[in-house]
Each structure stands twice: as C-alpha cells, then as structure tokens.
Structure 1
Amino acid sequence: MNANWHYPTAMRVGVGRIAEIAEVCALHKITAPLLVTDPGVAALPMVRNVVDICTAAGLGIQVFSDIKPNPTGANVERGIAVYKKGKHDGVIAFGGGSGIDAGKAIAVAAEQQCSMWDLEDIGDNWLRAEASKIPPIIAVPTTAGTGSEVGRAAVIVNQQQHRKVIIFHPRMSPDCVILDPELTIGLPAQLTAATGMDALSHSLEAFCSPLFHPMAEGIAIEGIRLVKEYLPIAVANGSNIAARTQMLAASSMGATAFQKGLGAMHALAHPLGARYDAHHGTLNAVLMPYVLIANRDVIKQPITRLGRYLDIGSGFEPFLDWVLELRESINIPNTLQDIGIDDNRLDEIGEMAVADPSAATNPIDHNADTYAKIAANAVHGRL
C-alpha cells in the first residue's frame, strides 16, 4: 500500500517510510532539524529511531517536547527559544495534533518580527509574516485524527485570554508529510477512537458547511466512508496495518476537506478545550449528535444524500442512529459530564462559541444562547 501523493502537499505513505526522514530533510535543505513533539511521544522508541537516523546522516537534530495536550503560547515561546539557540533550520513536527500544531507554530513565528498572535486567522493577518523567513516543515503524524499534517493553521491556547486561537499562514502547510501506519500501532484504543472521531468531525462538518466547494465536499464524503469502515477495526485491533493506513488517509482527508469550513462542533470544542483542558477529539465526539440535532432542519437533505452513499439508509434519523451506534461501539462517552465538564460556565462558553471562527460556516447561524443550550444538552445527555 506504499504510495507517493502530491495533494494537498507531498506525502509519502506506507509501512516503514519513516526511514526516509533524513532523505526528506536533505531534499528540503534542512541540516539541523528541531523535532517537536509531546512528552509522551518523546519517550517512545520511535523518536529515538528518528534521532538515530538523522544523526547517522549528519543532521544536527534536537528534540523539544515541552508541549501540553492543548499547546499554549508559552510552549511555543519556549520552543522558539530552543530553535534559535540550536541554530535550527527546519522543523520536524511529530506526533498527534498537539506536537504538530506546536511545531508548525514554532516554525512560522521563530524568525518573524511580528508576534505569533498577530497571525490569528482573521482577515489578512497572515500577510504580517514574511513568508521567506518560515523554514521548511516536515510533518509525521502518530495519530489519525487532527489532520494537522496537511493544514495551514495551528490551534494554540492563549492563556491570558483563556481561549484557543487559530494561527494561520499558507506556508504553515508542511512541505512534506510521512504517513507511516506503523507509528500509530501503539496508540491505545481509547485514543484511537477519540482521534478517529475527530477525523470524522472534520469531514462531516465540512460536508455540512454551506460554502460552495465541490472538491472539498467530495473528499469529505469519502473520508467519512473510510472512518465508517476502518475506525471500528482500528479500535478493535490496533495492529491492523490496513485499517491504520486508511485512518491516516481519512485524517488527512478531513483536514483537506475543512477548507470548506467547520461548524458548531468545533465552535464549542475550542472554548471547552481552552477552559477545561479537555481532549479535542473527545469533545468533538461527544458533541457530535447534539450538534447534528441542533442543525437538523438545514442539513436533512445533504445528510440524506450522504446516508445513501454510506449505505446506512435514507433520511436524517438513520444517519443519527449510525453516529450514536458508532460512538457506543468504540466506547465514546455519551455526555460532557462523563469527561468532567459541568454546566457552571455554559453562558460564557456560548459567547466564546459565537466568536469562534468555526461558527461562521455552521449551517445555522446560532446565537450564544443556542450554543449554551447545545452544550447543556451535551452535559446532561438530552438528545
């Protein structure tokens, strides 16, 4: 199943292709890469393997892993200091969404005169950065969910403002991606499920977005099919290479598709993640049916078409039933309360959701009260 793809960026797909990491660095003129990952991944043999491969090739590699599950501005600042001190000339963004997002943010901001926060995804803020000063980025995902390896943005927590900020620049899209399913085999079933549902949320929200983008919509539909067929297999048998490969593809497809937009799942997941430091994929998985119901009046027709393609029946209800059955089969929590989130701050969450960029492409323009009600329903399990 090895392949080389060139959409949306150069991608090397297949078992054992992490062995090509030094070759990829050389191709992009990286002589001293900074490998950015989270502490859990940094302790695994796969990182030592990458370091050994790069060292043997004469590359001045260093590992930076001071990254929280929801990476913060302080994490990025420390990474920039390490990048500059080590005189690095490229980034290997390695791991799950946290490591890859942090790596991309370090790369985009390290040599700029402007602040990283100046590049928040509002209007043309990205023009404040000098593209020529953004070093090459190589992305290596070890989970199948965020799709950050093909994205042009990074989600970073602004601790002073207690919110997640989307940092954007076209050059943040990595120059090359290595999708090696062997790197995902050790991922526990719970994280396999949560990250896989994150991939589903990306394709599903992109599909439901009202924007006109048929190419992204086509990718979203097929990405959803891959999740339907392969996520239960990957959760049940983490050593199934075919399922792991297909889920890596589905993850990258989801992040490619959401150029068409996201929606209320992410508009709520971002503030909830910032306030409660909860896992992003789990939040999207829990919120999914509650958001689908809130959007039902507008999305019934496209969801009916999607259900026919997936062979799960025609109409909104069969699709909702499939989502609920999928969540149950892979042990996704039913409510936000199940993951330690109560209803004490939901008015604030509603206000933050309205302000989140993802809300702009939700099929319905919900107000803060409606977002708070959706979150309340998700806390208490009211479908």
Structure 2
Amino acid sequence: MHTSNWHYPTSIRVGAGRARELADACRFSGIRRPLLITDRDLGASPMIQQALDDCRRELGHCALFDQVKGNPTGSNVAEGLAAYKAGDHDGVIAFGGGSALDAAKAVALMSGQQRPLWDFEDIGDNHLRADPDGIAPLVALPTTAGTGSEVGRAAVITDEQARVKRTLLHLRMMPRVAILDARLTLSLPRHLTAATGMDALTHCLEAWCSPVWHPMAEAVAIKGLQMLQQHLPRVVADGQDLEAREQMLVASSLGAAAFQRGLGGVHAIAQSLGALYDHHHGLLNAIVMPYVLLANESVLHRPMDELAHALRLPVPGFKGVFDWLLQLREDVGIPHTLAALGIDERDARLIGQMAFNDGCSHTNPVRHCAEGYQQIFSHAVRGC
C-alpha cells in the first residue's frame, strides 16, 4: 500500500483512509459551503454520511444532492444546479462512480453560466462560450475504478429529448483535488468491479490505438494497461484486496489521462447504446471492444506488436492482444454478445448513424462509415 500526493495536473491524494481529508481538500480548493453530489444508491450509505459529518464539523456546512442516475441526464444536472443555487454553495464535492462525478462536474460548470447546458457540448470551440469564473471548484472522490472522471476535464450527459449522449468539456471542470481512497471501493459488487475495470481498460486501449500524436498519452496508456493486466483479475477474484483496489483506482486515473489522445469506435457505439437502452457504460464497452478491434485490425499491426511486447504476452502481435482480451473478458464474467443484455438488431441502422456521428469516432484508427458501424454493432449482437 502507498500514501502519495501527485499533481498531474489535478492534485491527487492516494491512500487508504484519505477520504477523511475531504474537508481539508475543500479548504485547499477554496470551498467553504460545498454541495455533495452522488447517486441514488450511495446517498444513504455510511461513507456518504461520514463525509457529510466531517465537512459539517470542520467547515460548518455541507448539503447533499443524491438524485443522480446511472447514465446521468440533463434533468439530473438541472435538479442538482437548482439545489446548488438554493443552498448558496461555493463548490461541489463529486462523490461516487462515473455517473455521479460527471453530473457533479456539469453542475459545477453550470453554476455561473447564462447559456443553456448543451451550448457547451464538445464541438469546435464551444468551450469558449463558458465564463471560466462561473465554474465552481470541485473535489472528487471516486468509488469505482473505471471512468477516471476525477482527473478529467469532460462530463458525459444524456440529452433525454434527443436520445444521445453529449460530452461537455472545459479545463475548469477538472477537479482541484482527487482523493483515491481504496476503502471507498471495497463494497463494489463483483460484476460492477469487472465492468468498471473494463471501462478503464477501454480508455487505455483506445487511447493507445488512436492515430493522434501525443507521446505522453501513449506512455500513460501503456502503464495503465500493464496495471490493469495485473490487477483487474485479482480484484475481481477478491474484492477485499485493498492493494489491488488501490492499483485499479490509479489505473483508472491513468486511463482518463491517456484519452487526451482520443478514444474510438468502442466508445462511439457504447455511448450510442447507453443513450438508447440505459445499460452500464463499462459493460457495453467490454462487450463491444473485440468487434471494433477486428474492424480496425488492418491498421493496428504496429501498435499491437508493441503492446503485446509491453504486456509480455506469449503470442505476439494482434492475435496475442486479441486472445488476451477475450480471455480476460471471460475470466471477469463479461458476456460475449449484446444479445445477452437483451439488445437486438431492430435499431441497427440508427445505432450505426449515431456511432458515426459520435465525436469518439473521429479518433478511431479507421474512419468507418455509418454502415460500417452498423455492421460492427450487428456482429456484437450475434457474436460473430
């Protein structure tokens, strides 16, 4: 186990039990009247009550908004923003999995803006529309090792009316402090440990495969994949393994740093499916991943040669990486097809078009057309 402080550029406090530093992290970030935002499942949990008690004792005030759903929506953000303004808050505590963290970051973004939420979607220079002084400071405590949202500058929110996921982006949305306390993840069930871990792996893998030139992100992606290779099977096998839990939290943060290089077709399809069917994002990524890799194989020979070598796989190249990923999915209990989630091909054409339109498709190593994504989706449904 370790206790460390890093700056990359978020100030990251790593170590078991460091959630008790939450009030200090708020003071460091200039927050005196925080609103703690979490999801519906965590709202009544002992860890949230402890955080509220600590902040109320040391800061004098801390309120709770716990109405965030999985795959957070624009309505969640609007309700959280109303609570933020009603309580005269000056900062946000993002506490929970990726959904809670993303919703909290969107509330912080909107706390001092005059434009509507979707005006800040990550398209072109839309981030310049935001008043940076109107973005509240954040402190983040992840309870899952998946999205890495605690060190990211983006939030993914579902637009219920359009039935699409939209990415909001601004540097000021990046939390001032992230606390990686493995004890907060010990109660995560096996299936969610696997799904969130595969989300982190997808971030690292798609960043590694991206055609964008970003050597720092490449290096971070490789280290994240090495950590995930070692610790994901271990933590799924024993959820009380505190060391493995901590390593997974760090790997998750590395994944989020790596995808400054971009993501790809796995996310393009998974985000489209999440908007339509509301399934767990990490699970969708894990199922779709091999089908996208096969569709990209023709341009991945060199990166897969290097990755197989870095992971010391027994078989080199694309086949070695592909076989490892298939075995890892099976070992941690990921279904092989989307049909296992009850997803069929009735929306295949729509999903193909949505995936093509998704911003993540722009950094896929192959620029598949809508029909190409439709075909990949159909393969993922059928398992062929």
Normalising by the smaller structure, the TM-score range is: over 0.9
Measured in 2, the distance between the counterparts of 1:39 and 1:207 equals 34
Matched to 2:319, the amino acid is E
1:127-161 deviations in Å (ceiling 9; x for gaps) = 11110111110010000000111111100000110
**Aligned residue for 2:226?**
225
> Does the CA-based 8 Å contact 1:150-1:174 persist in structure 2?
yes
Could you tell me which amino acid in structure 1 is paired with residue 109 of structure 2?
V
The percent of aligned pairs where both chains have the same amino acid is 52
Q: Separation in 2 of the partners of 1:109 and 1:126?
A: 12
Deviations 1:35-63 (A, max 9, x none): 11101111211000000101111331111
Q: Give the structure 1 partner of residue 8 of structure 2.
A: 7
The equivalent residue for 1:106 is 107
Match of 2:325 among 323, 326, 344: 323
Matching residue of 1:273: 274
Q: Deviations over 1:302-348 (max 9, x none)?
A: 11110011011311111111000000001001100101211100100
Structure 2 CA distance for aligned equivalents of residues 29 and 272 of structure 1:
39
In 2, Cα distance between equivalents of 1:242 and 1:58 = 31
For the residues of structure 1 that align with 2:322 and 2:117, how far apart are their CA atoms? Answer: 39
CA contact (8 A) 1:197 1:284 kept: yes
Instruction: Report if aligned partners of 2:36, 2:63 keep a CA contact under 8 Å in 1.
Output: yes
Offset at residue 8 of structure 1 (A)? 3.0
Structure 1 length-normalised TM: 0.99
Structure 1, unpaired ranges of 5+: none
Query: 3-state DSSP class of the match of 1:34?
Result: strand
Alpha-carbon distance in 2 for matches of 1:125, 1:97: 23
Q: CA RMSD in A?
A: 0.7
- TM-score, length basis structure 2: 0.99
CA distance in 2, matches of 1:243, 1:339: 28
C-alpha contact 1:201 1:285 (8 A) present in aligned 2: yes
Per-residue CA deviations over 1:265-313 (Å, capped at 9, x if unaligned) read 0000111000000100000000011111010000122111100110113
* Residues 91, 136 of structure 2: 8 Å contact kept: yes
CA contact (8 A) 2:92 2:138 kept: yes
Per the alignment, residue 372 of structure 1 pairs with: 374
Q: Which residue of 1 aligns with 2:148?
A: 147
Letter aligned with residue 195 of structure 2: A
2:41 counterpart SS class: helix
Secondary structure of the structure 2 residue equivalent to 1:57: helix
Give, in whole Å, the separation in 2 of the partners of 1:160 and 1:59: 39
- 2:36 aligns to what SS in structure 1? strand
Report the CA distance between 1:67 and its aligned residue.
1.0
User: Secondary structure at 1:224's aligned position in 2?
Assistant: helix
Q: Which runs of 5+ in 2 are unaligned?
A: none
- Runs of 4+ with >4 A deviation: none
1:209 is the counterpart of 2:210: yes
Q: Distance in 2 between matches of 1:330 and 1:86?
A: 43
Question: Which whole-Å deviations, capped at 9, do the CAs of 1:197-245 have from their partners, x for residues lacking one?
Answer: 0000000000000010010000000100101000011101111111001
- Quote the Cα distance in structure 2 between the aligned partners of 1:305 and 1:284: 23
Please give the residue correspondences for 1:37-76 in structure 2 after superposition, counting only pairs within 5 Å. 37-76=38-77
Q: Is the 8 A contact 1:33 1:59 kept in 2?
A: no
1:94 touches 1:100 (CA, 8 Å); kept in 2?
yes
- Which residue of structure 1 aligns with residue 355 of structure 2? 353
Cα distance between partner residues in 1 of 2:209 and 2:246: 26
Question: Who is 2:293 aligned against?
Answer: 292
Q: Render the CA deviation track for 1:50-80: whole Å, top value 9, x for unaligned.
A: 0010111133111101111010000100000
Match for 2:149: what amino acid? S
